[in-house]
Structure 1
Amino acid sequence: MVNNQEPKGDSDCLVLSHLGMGQRTEEIEMEDEEEIPTHLNPINSSGGFHVVSTDKLSVQYTSNQLHGHDVGVVQANCPAPVRKLVYYFEIFVKNAGQKGQIAIGFTTEHFKMRRQPGWEANSYGYHGDDGLLYRGPGKGESFGPTFTSGDTVGGGINYGSQEFFFTKNGKLVGRVYKDVKGPLFPTIAVHSQNEEVNVNFGQQPFVFDVEVFVLEERRKQQMIIDKISLPLNVSHWIVRSYLLHYGYQDTLNSFDTASKNTLPPIPLVQENGFNEQGELYALSHRKILRQLIRSGDIDSAFAKLREWYHKLVKDDTSTICFLLHCQKFIELVRVDHLEAAVKYARVELAKFFGVMNLTCLLQDCIALLAYEEPQKSPVGYLLEMAQREVVADAVNTMVLSTNPHLNDSQNCLHSYLEKLLRQLTACCLERRALNGDQGEAFHLHKVLHSDKPGRL
């Protein structure tokens, strides 16, 4: 019989909230896919004043310049991507032509396509004939050297500092503040007979080492962070609260022993809002439960919960029981006891067929039976240690929720460290919103691996 019901009670909501279970219990970090410029767009250009090559990666001025608006200008096929720290592209000046009036820059979708980039509002251009930077109506401003035949010139956007930057022959020329928030198209312009440039959107290695540039920008950001002063040893108490919250008692004892000679006085803890009383609740019980679940001994974990916290598992159709039953099923599959796993599923997991919010995890569990090598399957994540930790964290949360002195059940969902990370994420998103939703999103995994070269 199908049980078309939603999880019942505050305890179920608490577990689901803690796990973030909507489609799966596993946490998947999805990056937004963006289209990136790959070639020039001959349709969105100035028409008869230039010729774009068949591969759409070079442009030549073929007209005789008669007027200032006879510019051969062409944009990339799409705007520069915005969900990253830096975007960059280059041009190679194959022929400077009669006057070398070549420009590289960024323009908006509605830019007048018979004008040089930088000659209209909301556009920026670095010009080869005079080395000036143009950013809207008016005269250009002193910026860098001129460029001509044989030179490679690049243009980029640093979304972290909200700046445009330009390069010549592998060296940084200069930067300028970016006050345009909307989508911007990489743009090239030629303006005298026989001028010809090739464009590189990344299909070939850049002359300018943009990866080193990105690493340097990240280093600058880290230096700013490092200069922020924190109360003495505050990081020690954040780590300690994390170990307390999740019941890592043995690690906590070792941590305290190793740092006993450097501990700040207790008033510092109170001064900074740390209160260990709630985190100390049932610490030894939570430690044992975590160890049992991490070792895959779900039967013993159930037994201890029935002995110590009978109300948590009294309803065998609760979400916490569901997670434990799923883990028991997973452990049977892990040791290749497939017949026992099927029997267990028919008795215990069948109760949850049709229960909203649990369907995806239940389907993934059952799907383990369909693969000869489930570890290598799309649902193989269930056999990893991380899944045991998910269940252990949920049980830990439920035990903390039984604390009679707990004023708000939401307080047991996250440690101080996680609350700080949530606040950091919110601040990063707010800053990104102020920049027109441009720039990198905050991903903890990326921060922890920031010593490795990032993708552009």
Structure 2
Amino acid sequence: MGDEEKLSNGTIQCLGDTLFRGFEAIVPKGWSMSDRFSYISVSKENLRVHFKGQNEGHKEGASVRATHPIPPACGLFYFEVKIVSKGREGGVAVGLSTQFACLDQLPGTEQNSYGYHGTDGFKYHNNEPGQGKAYGPSFTTGDVIGVGLNFTDNSCFFTKNGHHLGVAFSDLPRGWELYPTVGLQSVGGMIDANFGQHPFMFDVEDMKKELGMVMRNVIDQVPLPDMSTNNPDICFDMEKVVMTYLLHNGYCGTASAFASATGQDVTGEVDVVNRRQQVLSLVMEGQISQAMELTELYYPGLLDDQPNLHLVLRVRQFVEVVSGADSKYHCEDSELPEPPRRSVIMGEAMETDCGDFSNGLTNGHNKVDAIQQDELRGSTLERILDCGRKLHSWHARLATENTICDQYRDMVRDAFSLIAYADPHSSPVGWQLEPSQREVVADLLREAILRRTNVNNKTVLESAVNYAKELLRLMEAYGIGKVAFVKFNDVVN
């Protein structure tokens, strides 16, 4: 799973580079090889810390920090350490520190660090050794101690063997970059860390769920405007939001009914949407020729002003002519009969609303003879060649003017590749014939039409949703940990 390790209890602790709401933050995943006191050695994939020395060494202790500070975007960060050995004389501490805290002493003995000490069970923050405040039980070899940093209220707590010991420090300074930190004080002292590589003894996922419920309750208690008062300003705004959404997404029938019920006149707007939907529906049906004709009729000059869009439409037109779907394409000066709607390279017909040429029946009419079949096939090939010539000419013009996008060069090449296969549908480039490929063209044309008609690409409702999501992203980026427990879709639903 790369930087994410799947835990056996079904939870995932994010490790390494983690993508939050649109930005990346690095989560601590091991001890630093450089940010440590000289008496400390780091091994076992940067998870084991060992106090080494010829004697009892440094009296105040020796510490090591993790590779990176804890990002507030986590909302709640938790790690555990197992005391493999307290050392000859004992002295183990776990906690947090800034990069400015000295490493020649245990965490908690100065202003820039917080610690929970095993010898007395006291909590320390800017306290001399032995001068801490009573907090929890002492701990020694074999115990598992956890450290949690809760960014919803900037508090720190500790656990022992899976049991929450309560909040140790509250109102930690905002903006401080805090690193997981451990300290040892005696030769032979050794601890192993778990930053999520293995299941935790403490159920941190349950705590996250509880924090999520708290945040949801806070949001639910935010007062909303009272719609029962019939405030005209609020009602008008809501009606406008609903109407713009319906029209923008082409729900003309529903929009007309809603307008009638709310006393609005949207006749002109409905006509504009109907025209746009008519053009886009033709694209989705593969009738590109007719879609281009209506585009020129309804939006004169649009394709001339958008040469790359024009090229995309001509590419799709060629693909649909090859597939037999574009039944409205006609060669210049051609009086040949309508071609069958099938992949025309194979020369086989397909069933249409007018009958099935392949079985010789045409809605009960006489059987098509061999001469007429040859005429149909000849018409089909002529259409492909004519459409291909026009596409090549337009592509060459844009290439000469150096206005063609690179991605559209590949699109033209792929389209022409279709005629190299007897059965384009099963060829390596047959994906172009899939109806889903029309959606890309329809979206491009839709955006161009909206710009031409001075219609925003987003409705008021969509803009409000995007605005709310952007606010959440910015709050998370600026270290407001509560945002980690706000699930936008859950709140909206």
TM-score (norm 2): 0.63
1:287-436 aligned within 5 A: 287-313=277-303, 315=304, 317-318=306-307, 320-322=309-311, 324-325=313-314, 328=317, 345-353=391-399, 359-363=405-409, 365-366=411-412, 368=414, 373=428, 387-388=440-441, 390-391=443-444, 393-398=446-451, 400-401=453-454, 412-432=456-476, 434-435=478-479
Provide closer, same or farther for how the CA distance between residues 305 and 195 of structure 1 changes in structure 2, counting only shifts above 3 A: same
- Which of these residues, 197, 221, 245, is aligned with residue 242 of structure 1? 245
Give, in whole Å, the separation in 1 of the partners of 2:145 and 2:434: 46
Give, in whole Å, the separation in 1 of the partners of 2:248 and 2:464: 14
Give, in whole Å, the separation in 2 of the partners of 1:192 and 1:132: 18
Give, in whole Å, the separation in 2 of the partners of 1:276 and 1:130: 76
**CA RMSD after TM alignment:** 4.7
1:195-246 Cα offsets, whole Å, 9 max, x none, are 3211112222222333443344334333332332333398786454322223
Using the TM superposition, give the Cα deviation of residue 331 of structure 1 relative to its aligned residue in structure 2, in angstroms: 5.7
Deviates more, 1:157-166 or 1:297-306: 157-166
Give, in whole Å, the separation in 2 of the partners of 1:192 and 1:416: 65
| Sequence identity (%) | 25
Partner of 2:422: none
The answer for unaligned runs of 5 or more in structure 1 is 1-28, 270-274, 402-410, 452-456
1:284-336 Cα offsets, whole Å, 9 max, x none, are 223323333344433332222222222433x2544653554465467679888
Provide closer, same or farther for how the CA distance between residues 328 and 41 of structure 1 changes in structure 2, counting only shifts above 3 A: same
* Aligned-partner residue type, residue 47 of structure 1: S
Contact 2:86 2:190 in 1 (8 A): yes
2:171 is the counterpart of 1:177: yes
1:79-98 aligned within 5 A: 79-81=69-71, 83-97=73-87
Partner of 2:329: none
Contact 1:73 1:189 in 2 (8 A): yes
1:213-292 aligned within 5 A: 213-231=207-225, 232=227, 238-250=241-253, 252=255, 256=258, 280=270, 282-292=272-282
* Aligned-partner residue type, residue 321 of structure 1: H
Using the TM superposition, give the Cα deviation of residue 148 of structure 1 relative to its aligned residue in structure 2, in angstroms: 3.1
Aligned residues: 393
Give, in whole Å, the separation in 1 of the partners of 2:475 and 2:409: 39
Give, in whole Å, the separation in 2 of the partners of 1:329 and 1:449: 45
* Aligned-partner residue type, residue 362 of structure 1: Y
Deviates more, 1:103-112 or 1:366-375: 366-375
Give, in whole Å, the separation in 2 of the partners of 1:356 and 1:442: 50
Give, in whole Å, the separation in 2 of the partners of 1:225 and 1:364: 49
Give, in whole Å, the separation in 1 of the partners of 2:72 and 2:240: 37
1:330-374 Cα offsets, whole Å, 9 max, x none, are 767988889879656523344444889972542563475689646
Give, in whole Å, the separation in 1 of the partners of 2:154 and 2:344: 57
Contact 1:105 1:124 in 2 (8 A): yes
Give, in whole Å, the separation in 2 of the partners of 1:380 and 1:38: 48
Larger radius of gyration: 2
Contact 2:319 2:433 in 1 (8 A): no
Give, in whole Å, the separation in 2 of the partners of 1:173 and 1:329: 71
Give, in whole Å, the separation in 2 of the partners of 1:375 and 1:212: 50
Partner of 1:155: 147
Provide closer, same or farther for how the CA distance between residues 97 and 442 of structure 1 changes in structure 2, counting only shifts above 3 A: closer
Partner of 1:21: none
Contact 1:368 1:380 in 2 (8 A): no
1:27-84 Cα offsets, whole Å, 9 max, x none, are xx99545544443234321112x44345432223345557652x12112233345654
Provide closer, same or farther for how the CA distance between residues 320 and 276 of structure 1 changes in structure 2, counting only shifts above 3 A: farther
2:46 is the counterpart of 1:56: yes
Give, in whole Å, the separation in 2 of the partners of 1:357 and 1:31: 32
Give, in whole Å, the separation in 1 of the partners of 2:291 and 2:271: 18
Provide closer, same or farther for how the CA distance between residues 194 and 226 of structure 1 changes in structure 2, counting only shifts above 3 A: same
Deviates more, 1:275-284 or 1:144-153: 275-284
Provide closer, same or farther for how the CA distance between residues 109 and 418 of structure 1 changes in structure 2, counting only shifts above 3 A: same
Give, in whole Å, the separation in 1 of the partners of 2:152 and 2:288: 47
Give, in whole Å, the separation in 1 of the partners of 2:181 and 2:270: 61
1:31-46 aligned within 5 A: 32-46=23-37
SS in 2 for 1:93: strand
SS in 2 for 1:307: helix
SS in 2 for 1:348: helix
- Which of these residues, 84, 92, 96, is aligned with residue 102 of structure 1? 92
Give, in whole Å, the separation in 2 of the partners of 1:123 and 1:342: 72
Partner of 1:210: 204
Give, in whole Å, the separation in 1 of the partners of 2:133 and 2:103: 22
Deviates more, 1:94-103 or 1:196-205: 94-103
Partner of 2:14: none
Give, in whole Å, the separation in 2 of the partners of 1:333 and 1:383: 16
1:441-456 aligned within 5 A: 447-448=488-489
Give, in whole Å, the separation in 2 of the partners of 1:276 and 1:190: 75
Give, in whole Å, the separation in 2 of the partners of 1:132 and 1:423: 47
Contact 1:131 1:144 in 2 (8 A): yes
* Aligned-partner residue type, residue 69 of structure 2: P
The answer for unaligned runs of 5 or more in structure 2 is 1-19, 228-234, 326-342, 346-383, 419-426
Deviates more, 1:87-96 or 1:343-352: 343-352
Contact 2:155 2:171 in 1 (8 A): yes
- Which of these residues, 81, 94, 108, is aligned with residue 118 of structure 1? 108
SS in 1 for 2:244: helix
